[in-house]
Structure 1
Amino acid sequence: MKSLPPAALLLILGATAGSAQDLTYPVVDTMQDSCFDLVGQAIDCPAADQALYGQDAQYARRPAAYTDNGDGTVLDTNTALVWQKTPQNDRLQYLDGIAYCAALDLGGRTDWRVPSIKELYSLADNRGELLTPEEGTPTPYIDTAFFDFEYPSGRMAFAGQYWSSTLYVKGPVQNGRNQAAFGFNFADGHIKAYGTGLDFYTGAAATGGLAGPDGKAPGNYVRCVSGAEGVYGVNAFADNGDGTVTDTATGLMWQQTDDGTRREWAEALAYCEALDLAGHDDWTLPNSKELQSIVDYDRTGYPAINQDYFGITQDGETLDYWTSTTFGDWKNYANVIAFGKALSKSGDQTDYTDWHGAGAQRSSIKTIVGQEMTEDTTCSVNACDYNRSDNLVRCVR
């Protein structure tokens, strides 16, 4: 249980007292239960008058709640979605993944499908961390008390990506003309857009970029879901006319427009804790799932947010927003949601490109004071992410 001051606990309990069925899009807690300092050390969670107060672990949200049905399926009692407990341990091309779930007959159900990215991200458990063998046993970003998960064998243990059905509609990703669909990596805790093996403009099989020698993209794993489609993950925004927006689907109220100031992580936490807006002074820096809940994955332009309700003050490609969630693998980093292009570069590239897609969840170094960003922390074997310590902020209550 996350520890809270009594007054804050009462606020949270009041906000979550209703059943999940009262909301069409109940946001499930990240389950992160520890606090960390700016260089990645675990610390006692700060008091309200101390620096770094307001971290993810300090605010109890709706806890994850699963039921093993004993038939190869798991019910999420928050979302009412039923999940495949044990996925097929093979990578599939995007269209093959769609076909696989459509043909699945499991637990007396035949209405299986590939989940949307918001459905898939509801399973993310931010107690995960990917460790090398000499550092200890890794913990996947999913609750293995209910869901089976295997790390890929060999040197690419981090490549635990699972498809969603959510196509990236803003343009091609990586190099060339690659169509992409979002996925979540249960090995390393990121959302990104992965090449489907198809051409973004024609829908034909890709011939470059992520297409390998056999003409196919690397592919991802699939965990199928059963349940009403087009319900979970759909927002219902209302402009309150006072600088705030309420999402009646999630029960969250949002700061309508950011203040245009880029901050390091400690200042982002403090800014939301001190915010007094529309008669409310209980604002917080959103956790990863809360902030991802307002991404507009259907919008064909930038930024990836519904601009009928929300304002973004800055132009440009990097529109990353802080979350209160520390990144499990590098705890001197915190998660960000990219509402602009999620930039990276690879190989001989000299310019950053929209490698991961607007709507991706990446991570940024909390501060550059006393630290250095190196290839060890910004690069994988595939690409080097664009990384900055000062990001934008949008508060929630």
Structure 2
Amino acid sequence: MFTLVKRTLITVACCMTGTTFAQTTPINPVSYPVVSITSGQYQNNNDNTITDTVTGLMWQKDYKVLTYNEAVEYAKSANIGGYNDWRLPNIKEMYSLILFTGVDASNRDMSKVPDGAKPFIDIDNFDFAYGTNGTRVIDSQYLTTSIYTGKIMGKDEAMFGVNFADGRIKGYPLVHPRTKQDNKFTVRLVRGNTDYGKNNFQDNNDQTISDLATQLMWTEQDSQTGMNWVEAKEWIVQLNKEQYLGHSDWRLPTIKELHTIVDYTRSPQATNSAAIKPIFAMSSIKDEQGNVNYPVFWSSTTHLRVGPKSQSQAAYFCFGECLGFMKRPNSETRTLLDVHGAGAQRAEPKEGNAEDYPYGHGPQGDVIRIENYVRAVRDLN
């Protein structure tokens, strides 16, 4: 099922056809700039490529729908815009494209795009359609090379993908659990700036951590307790009143800032740790079954969705297993599983009572806690 949002005819200049050469140096040498949540500052090169002048990445304008193995072969042979050094993006690169001016298309009727939905990607520059790689409106999961170091659903190998229809990162199974066929994903290639997404952390020995790549300073320790989103903002205000660690300009990070400190090489299953480098202190929690896990962390970013409560949720990242109460087929029995992987990005109500969601929310029974943790950030001066 395809619902085309926007598609622009590309005319390639005659002088570009037949030209094949490799360019290995970054288009615009930068390290790891955190792209605005509203704009990527794109340049349409009119040859089926788009240059992001902030990140130094060049992107394929259109897309393909392929399995993971097919995508690997496609990238090897791709010649787009006269370049032959295209690659599949990792999760940090792909997430640079997400825009939180989007409105989540999730709704009860997944066969049609609801009124008010808006893609989480710049459709003035990139081709996009709802339902590109599946039967539901929200099946627009974009493939990356970031394979989860654990397993989702207790057994499935998964790839972290970005969904530009619902504004989330999740671990998606590479093989369909029932049909045993390779799943297909939406594929957009990238080239240039191979340093994008690489941190350069520095321990300042004063309970702060600087990232010279993003030019952000983080608190070494987190809040050590959960709180709702409104309380999280108030907690930041209090830090600034106290000039915490000598600074009065702390803030709740945007979801894209928070993503920069997620470490996809780490997970509770693979490294017995949170998905963050050990230079940071990380609280542990007891999850809904009493097992040791790690918190999810609030961002300042509202996750817009269709309906009357369009601004009632905020985006967060799972630094521990991203749990859900999965219902067994043909049964009412539910099992608490890592349904999306450590490093997934979801959203939940800014306020409320978690007891109102005894079996979570959504098709995977996403655990709703509402009282989540916080790590403060500020700009490096």
Please indicate, yes or no, whether the TM-score normalized by the shorter chain is above 0.5. yes
Aligned partner letter, 1:27: V
Aligned counterpart in structure 2 of residue 148 of structure 1, from 127, 136, 140: 127
CA distance, structure 2, for counterparts of residue 187 and residue 374 of structure 1 = 27
How many residue pairs get aligned? The number is 325
Q: Write the mapping of 1:165-244 to structure 2, written as runs, cut at 5 A.
A: 165-169=145-149, 171-176=150-155, 178-197=156-175, 210-213=176-179, 215-229=180-194, 231-244=195-208
CA distance, structure 1, for counterparts of residue 43 and residue 298 of structure 2 = 32
Structure 2 counterpart SS, 1:270: helix
Shift of 1:277: 2.2
2:283–2:294 CA contact under 8 A, matched in 1: no
CA distance, structure 1, for counterparts of residue 89 and residue 35 of structure 2 = 16
Mean alpha-carbon deviation: is it higher for 152-161 or for 293-302? 152-161
Shift of 1:370: 11
**2:144 aligned with 1:164, yes or no?**
yes
Aligned partner letter, 2:298: W
Structure 2 counterpart SS, 1:100: helix
134 and 106 in structure 1: CA distance in 2 versus 1, 3 angstrom threshold: closer
CA distance, structure 1, for counterparts of residue 294 and residue 336 of structure 2 = 11
Aligned counterpart in structure 1 of residue 303 of structure 2, from 314, 324, 327: 327
CA distance, structure 1, for counterparts of residue 104 and residue 373 of structure 2 = 27
**2:57 aligned with 1:78, yes or no?**
no
2:140–2:164 CA contact under 8 A, matched in 1: yes
**2:283 aligned with 1:317, yes or no?**
no
**2:2 aligned with 1:24, yes or no?**
no
1:25–1:232 CA contact under 8 A, matched in 2: yes
2:284–2:293 CA contact under 8 A, matched in 1: no
Aligned partner letter, 1:304: A
134 and 147 in structure 1: CA distance in 2 versus 1, 3 angstrom threshold: closer
2:255–2:299 CA contact under 8 A, matched in 1: yes
Aligned partner letter, 1:75: T
How far does the alpha carbon of each residue in 1:324-351 deviate from its partner, in whole angstroms, 9 at most, with x for none? 0111225311111010000123331522
Aligned counterpart in structure 2 of residue 294 of structure 1, from 261, 264, 270: 261
1:211–1:217 CA contact under 8 A, matched in 2: no
2:103–2:116 CA contact under 8 A, matched in 1: no
1:339–1:358 CA contact under 8 A, matched in 2: yes
Aligned partner letter, 2:161: G
Map of 2:44 onto structure 1? 68
Aligned partner letter, 1:130: D
Shift of 1:223: 0.8
Aligned partner letter, 1:66: Y
1:73–1:85 CA contact under 8 A, matched in 2: yes
Map of 2:18 onto structure 1? none
Structure 2 counterpart SS, 1:352: strand
Structure 2 counterpart SS, 1:391: coil
CA distance, structure 1, for counterparts of residue 354 and residue 160 of structure 2 = 35
Name structure 2 gaps, 5 residues minimum. 1-26, 286-291
CA distance, structure 1, for counterparts of residue 294 and residue 302 of structure 2 = 20
1:252–1:396 CA contact under 8 A, matched in 2: yes
Map of 1:127 onto structure 2? 101
2:297–2:375 CA contact under 8 A, matched in 1: yes
What is the TM-score normalised by the length of structure 1? Answer: 0.77
CA distance, structure 2, for counterparts of residue 65 and residue 256 of structure 1 = 32
1:179–1:196 CA contact under 8 A, matched in 2: yes
CA distance, structure 1, for counterparts of residue 76 and residue 199 of structure 2 = 26
How far does the alpha carbon of each residue in 1:262-300 deviate from its partner, in whole angstroms, 9 at most, with x for none? 100001011123312221110000010100100111124
CA distance, structure 1, for counterparts of residue 157 and residue 355 of structure 2 = 37
CA distance, structure 1, for counterparts of residue 124 and residue 44 of structure 2 = 9
CA distance, structure 1, for counterparts of residue 189 and residue 196 of structure 2 = 15
1:26–1:250 CA contact under 8 A, matched in 2: yes
How far does the alpha carbon of each residue in 1:37-80 deviate from its partner, in whole angstroms, 9 at most, with x for none? xxxxxxxxxxxxxxxxxxxxxxxxxx521000000000000111
Aligned counterpart in structure 1 of residue 244 of structure 2, from 277, 281, 302: 277
Aligned partner letter, 2:86: W
CA distance, structure 1, for counterparts of residue 59 and residue 284 of structure 2 = 39
Name structure 1 gaps, 5 residues minimum. 1-19, 32-62, 198-209
How far does the alpha carbon of each residue in 1:4-37 deviate from its partner, in whole angstroms, 9 at most, with x for none? xxxxxxxxxxxxxxxx968510010112xxxxxx
224 and 279 in structure 1: CA distance in 2 versus 1, 3 angstrom threshold: same
CA distance, structure 2, for counterparts of residue 388 and residue 86 of structure 1 = 38
1:115–1:164 CA contact under 8 A, matched in 2: yes
Q: Write the mapping of 1:35-46 to structure 2, written as runs, cut at 5 A.
A: none
Shift of 1:369: 5.7
Map of 2:367 onto structure 1? 386
321 and 249 in structure 1: CA distance in 2 versus 1, 3 angstrom threshold: same
Shift of 1:374: 8.4
Structure 2 counterpart SS, 1:246: strand
Map of 1:17 onto structure 2? none
CA distance, structure 2, for counterparts of residue 370 and residue 384 of structure 1 = 13
Aligned counterpart in structure 2 of residue 306 of structure 1, from 268, 273, 277: 277
What is the TM-score normalised by the length of structure 2? Answer: 0.80
How far does the alpha carbon of each residue in 1:231-263 deviate from its partner, in whole angstroms, 9 at most, with x for none? 100100001111100000000000111131110
Mean alpha-carbon deviation: is it higher for 92-101 or for 343-352? 343-352
Aligned counterpart in structure 1 of residue 88 of structure 2, from 95, 98, 114: 114
